[in-house]
Structure 1
Amino acid sequence: RSNYSTKDGKRQLCLRYTSFRQTTFLGLGFSVHPRNWSVKRELVLSGDKNYQHYNRIIEEKFHKAECILWAHYDRPLSKREFIDKFRDKQHGNTDFYVFIENELKFLESTRAKQTLSNYKNLINKMREWKPTLPFKELTLEFIQRFHNYEIECGNQQSTIYKKHANFKFLLGLAINKEQLVKNPYEKFPIKKIIKAQNSDILNEEELKILQYTYDNKKYSNGKREVLRDFLFSCYTSLSYVEFHNVTYGDLKPVTVNNRIFLLLCNERQKTNVLYKIPIVSPVVEQLLERETSDTDKDSSKKIFSPLANQPTNRYLKEIMKDLGISKTITFHLARHTFRTIAAKKDIRESIAERMMGHAEGNDIRDIYTHLHDEDIIEEMLNKWIVSLKD
């Protein structure tokens, strides 16, 4: 605006709307100095330290105004009507970001905090790359450009495909609300990076060292519990969060070839997907430290007593140093260790995914339709019996 300046010479940026010979100005919430404003390009110049942020606001607001105008092309809105719709965050807006921010509010009661945080971080990062994202631009070509951008940023493949998986889920919300006709990921496969992209996973020989240390009771109290939990996760893929939840009542007896085996079953908090972990190795069963009759009577008793995340990882670091294992290990890498060894032993992908409680899109139920408890147990019996023998 040219009719008012602040003491430092800055002028307010506004969107001007004219209808039926009436004009109104809608402030965008910031002011810039005339020397940092390009009249021709209608952009804030780099002389202003906040120019990128301001230009994103301009693009978002201008895009929304255009959408409102085209939605009422046959009957132009009055000044009052336009202001009402422009200030309504939802009305007249075809921007994916605005839509998904509203949808995430509805997920707060059903999704884990970390999962929601991952979705929000993804949207914020995408906004830095592309400030506005109309639904009409959500095509296969856009997905490919997004993929290339992530590579240019130097992100690892595992990180990139995790972002794809999250983005695919968010696009599914738009489809459910009929904002999109189809998901562009139908023709863009999300690869599963089985092999960890760092060397900080344990091999079977290193697991034997840890198991020998545990069996000989080198550590006690908290350190012993951490080592127990970590080994169990390496053998079974049970995630850190689930150690707080599993009870002896979650152990289901299953008969295979006239022998009874245990199947640890529960829902992952993160995905609400049922995992089924077969306990077929004597070494793994011993880690359950099951009591006799008392346990059978109290099915609600917790199997593990996990420590908080920080002391857990601190103890793991100390244990690895004590044993001469020069790898930076955190508890989560136990699942990486399991998945890598399972792949090397040629354990079927559907079995490994069921044990880990992974949720890949909406096809999770279809993947496991014909997978029985006996199949999971037999697969592990045939391909991975944990043993300390050479």
Structure 2
Amino acid sequence: MKATLKILLRTNYQTKEGKQQLCLRYTSYRRTTFIGLNISIHPKHWNDTKKQIKASEPYHLHYNQLIKQQTHKAETIILDNYLKPLPVAEFIHQMKDKHYGNTDFYTFIQNEIELIQSARTKGTIDNYKSLINKMKEWKPALTFDEITLDYIQRFHDHEIKTGNQLSTIYKKHANFKFLIGLAVDKEKIAKNPYDKFEIKKITKAQNNDILTEEELQKLQHAYDNNTYTGGKKEVLREFLFSCYTSLSYAEFDNVTYGDLKPVTIKSKSDENQKEETTITTHYLLCNERKKTNVMYKIPIISKTVEQLLEREVTIKTKKGEEHKDKESFQKIFSPLTNQPTNRYLKEIMKDQHINKTMTFHRARHTFRTIAARRGIHDGIAERIMGHAEGNDIKDIYTHLHDEDIVREMKDKWIV
């Protein structure tokens, strides 16, 4: 006996407003079940011939998309079991399985994101989730067959109208292209439409991308005078540290006091540098960048930067206050998530009358620009920043010693 499916309004119950529930009716082996679609409308808004909600209902587009998805899923289950129809209970079970016959891109990709979490940084995963949530606000449901070149162009136009910068928009495109690639790999989509859409990389720095040394001094003064407290003070601390050292936002949650490596520097006094005069010890903050898997080595060569590390903790005892170094396993920073971090940062810039569009990543731009102006060697700047090894700097990386990094920064840029 063939199973049958029909979409209809339940007439045996209606709300106080006169609305009726929209349901899928499934019949198999002379048994029938009704599966609610969580959609209640006035009967006057229902077109029973087309099995669609009329445009007179304010949410008709969203509702019709949901109807289309659920009907397609039910029909897929029936066709997959055409020769031996499923009993009512089994059909209901298959309908509740959100991955069975799924045609919704959002549902698919949320599951895929969970699967790739271990292979991506937390920041990257957060960017994927944020992108999907933003896209849902613009288009609540998205089927695989809707992902076309035209859809990508409309998404691009929508982002421009929203007021986003081109650099931000193209980063979203890059993330969306990757996510669509996951659907292509699972044969949900035949071909990635981004093959015909150019993702431009905006790399030209603007005047409002970086801070001057005078502006950094103003921010440092605000920090030293405890102008801010709580999360806002922590954001300023981390931002200043990044401006001075280039530590990327994604790494702040990982570094511990155990990542500080002592480096001894010997200084010579005569012209031939034969006579040893002084020996000083500085620290390198060393760890591996998640994004590039390249070891960064950040020299800590000034009192200002050392104070931002907050290595000592004050303990009150009966005899008085004692200072004790923090344990090696303790984290140096306590970063907030990306959204409040950048929100606090914009508020701080406004408070300090620094009229520049600033995000946390601009700290690395600031470091690189000041380092270049101070004459810091490119290879050393790249090593400090933890950039991927390119052909031009590979040999420099191979022969670069820790002492060279410390000396270069100590000689040319002490905060």
Q: Give me the TM-score of the superposition, normalised by structure 2.
A: 0.62
Aligned length: 369
1:28: how far off? Answer: 1.3
Between the aligned partners of 1:196 and 1:50, the Cα distance in structure 2 is 43
User: 1:361 — aligned with what?
Assistant: none
C-alpha change, 1:244 and 1:76, in structure 2 (3 Å) is closer
Equivalent position of 1:264 in the other structure? 285
* 1:152-167 to 2 correspondences below 5 Å: 152-167=161-176
Residue 363 of structure 2: which of 305, 314, 334 is its match? 334
Structure 2 gap segments, 5+ residues each: 1-8, 269-280, 312-324
- Cα shift at 1:326: 4.6
Residue of structure 2 equivalent to 1:95: 104
1:17 offset after TM fit, Å?
4.7
Corresponding residue to 2:328 among 285, 291, 300 = 300
Name the amino acid aligned to 1:334.
A
Q: CA deviation at 1:13?
A: 1.1
Question: For 1:273-292, what per-residue CA distance to the aligned partner results, in whole angstroms no more than 9, with x for missing partners?
Answer: 54544446955x86236999
Aligned-partner Cα distance in 1 for 2:400–2:26: 67
* Percent of aligned pairs with the same amino acid: 48
Question: Is the 2:117–2:125 contact (alpha carbons within 8 Å) kept by the matching residues of 1?
Answer: yes
RMSD: 5.6
Structure 2 CA distance for partners of 1:125 and 1:352, relative to 1, 3 Å: farther
Q: Given the superposition, is the C-alpha separation of residues 286 and 109 from structure 1 closer, same or farther in structure 2, using an over 3 Å criterion?
A: same
Secondary structure of 1:30 counterpart: strand
User: Does the C-alpha gap of structure 1 residues 355 and 142 become closer, same or farther in structure 2, counting only changes over 3 Å?
Assistant: farther
What's the offset of the Cα at 1:233?
A: 0.8
Q: CA deviation at 1:183?
A: 5.1
Please report how far the alpha carbon of residue 33 of structure 1 lies from its aligned counterpart in structure 2 after TM superposition: 0.8
Distance 1:65 1:110 in 2: 35
Aligned to 1:235: 244
Alignment map for 1:337-352 (pairs within 5 Å)? 337-338=366-367
Q: Any conservation in 1 of the 2:243–2:367 contact (CA below 8 Å)?
A: yes
Counterpart contact for 2:73–2:101, Cα < 8 Å? yes
Which whole-Å CA distance do the structure 1 matches of 2:140 and 2:341 have between them? 40
Structure 1 SS opposite 2:100: coil
Change (3 A) 1:330 1:48: same
Q: Deviations over 1:285-339 (max 9, x none)?
A: 86236999xxxx99827695668788998799669856x6455767564345346
- What do the CA deviations read for 1:356-390 (whole angstroms, capped 9, x no partner)? 668xxxxx8999995836579889969x94367xx
Matched with 2:158 is: 149
Query: Residue type matched to 1:89 in 2?
Result: K
- Given the alignment, which residue of 200, 208, 213 partners 1:199? 208
Residue 89 to residue 209, structure 1, CA distance change in 2 (3 Å):
closer
What does residue 36 of structure 1 align with? 45
CA distance in 1, matches of 2:385, 2:197: 24
Once the two structures are superposed, what CA deviation does each residue of 1:190-233 show, in whole Å capped at 9, x if it has no partner?
A: 4444457793741344335556x59xx96369889876643331
Equivalent residue number for residue 14 of structure 1: 23
The answer to whether structure 1 residue 288 and structure 2 residue 306 are counterparts is yes
Could you tell me how far apart the structure 1 residues matched to 2:110 and 2:344 are?
36
Alpha-carbon displacement from aligned partner over 1:238-286 (angstroms, at most 9, x marks no partner): 245644643454245799xx99996533245xx5654544446955x86
- Structure 1's 52 and 326: CA in aligned 2 closer, same or farther, altered over 3 A? same
Residue 65 of structure 2 corresponds to which residue in structure 1?
56
Q: Which residue of structure 1 aligns with residue 413 of structure 2?
A: 386
Structure 1, gaps ≥5 residues long: 359-363
CA distance in 1, matches of 2:106, 2:159: 19
User: Within 5 A, what are the aligned runs for 1:59-98?
Assistant: 59-69=68-78, 71=80, 75=83, 77-78=85-86, 80=88, 82-98=91-107
Larger radius of gyration: 2
Looking at structure 1, the residues matched to 55 and 378 of structure 2 have their Cα atoms a distance apart, in angstroms, of 51
C-alpha distance 291-225 of structure 1, shift in aligned 2 (>3 A): closer
CA distance in 2, matches of 1:385, 1:90: 58
SS in 2 for 1:166: helix
Distance 2:158 2:120 in 1: 28
- Matched AA of 1:203: T
3-state SS of paired residue (2:208): coil
Q: 1:243 to 1:168 in 2, by over 3 A?
A: same
